[in-house]
Amino acid sequence: MRRLFILAFAANVVLSLISLHVLPERVAIHFGADGTADGWGPNYANAVLMTGVQILLFCTLYFSTWLIRVLPVRWINLPHKDYWLSPANQAQSLVTIQGFMWRFGTAMFWFLFIVNLLAIQANLAQPVRLNLKVFLPALGLLMVYSVWWTIVFFRAFRLPALKVGSPTFR
């Protein structure tokens, strides 16, 4: 999953660089609910902003387990964190969290890739208009995936069932 995560990130950065060469100097950077452009800016600013957001997202997700190791436990939002971040369970928990972050990041980057492609397509068309027939289903899929991901994440960090006969079973 790590390779796919990195590939999706790299594809977005490459697409942002390509947009610098194929789009006009002034581009639509925001679209209204009906898909028409309602915000404009310089092409280079759009490419820098998109690349910056993608780098920030990549670093946050890629280095999330490092952050968990260095931040105080009270700052970490994890179900049953006292159990999962205890010395006995922390190593496996960090591996699990990293996998979750890479999967979520991969989904986010593929969504951003679609959005960037749609923005390029819209800026090359006359009139400038976002293709909502592709954007809205892509957004819907991301929302459904996000809900599913959250449920699976919380289930992965439930407290394990205690076995009869274990010292802590009551």
**Exposure letters 67-77 (e unless 16+ CB within 10 A, then b):** ebeeeeeeeee
Look at residue 167 in the predicted model and tell me its pLDDT.
Answer: 57
Two structure tokens written together for 145: 């995936």
Q: What is the mean pLDDT of each run of 10 residues along the chain (170 residues)?
A: 95 95 93 93 92 95 91 89 92 94 97 96 94 97 98 94 58
pLDDT digits (tens, 9 = 90+) for 21-46: 999 999 999 999 999 999 999 999 99
* Strand spans (E) along the chain: 26-31, 37-42
* 137 located within any domain: yes
* 50 located within any domain: yes
Q: What is the pTM of this model?
A: 0.87
| Residue 121 CB burial class (10 angstroms; 0-12, 13-18, ≥19) | middle
Strand partners, 40: 28
* 91 located within any domain: yes
* 87 located within any domain: yes
* 110 located within any domain: yes
- State how far the alpha carbon of 3 is from the alpha carbons of 65, 94, 100, 102, in Å: 17, 18, 14, 9
* 130 located within any domain: yes
* 96 located within any domain: yes
Look at residue 157 in the predicted model and tell me its pLDDT.
Answer: 94
Look at residue 74 in the predicted model and tell me its pLDDT.
Answer: 87
Domain of residue 71 covers 2-156
Residue 92 CB-half CA count within 13 A: 7
* 163 located within any domain: no
Question: How many domains does the chain divide into?
Answer: 1
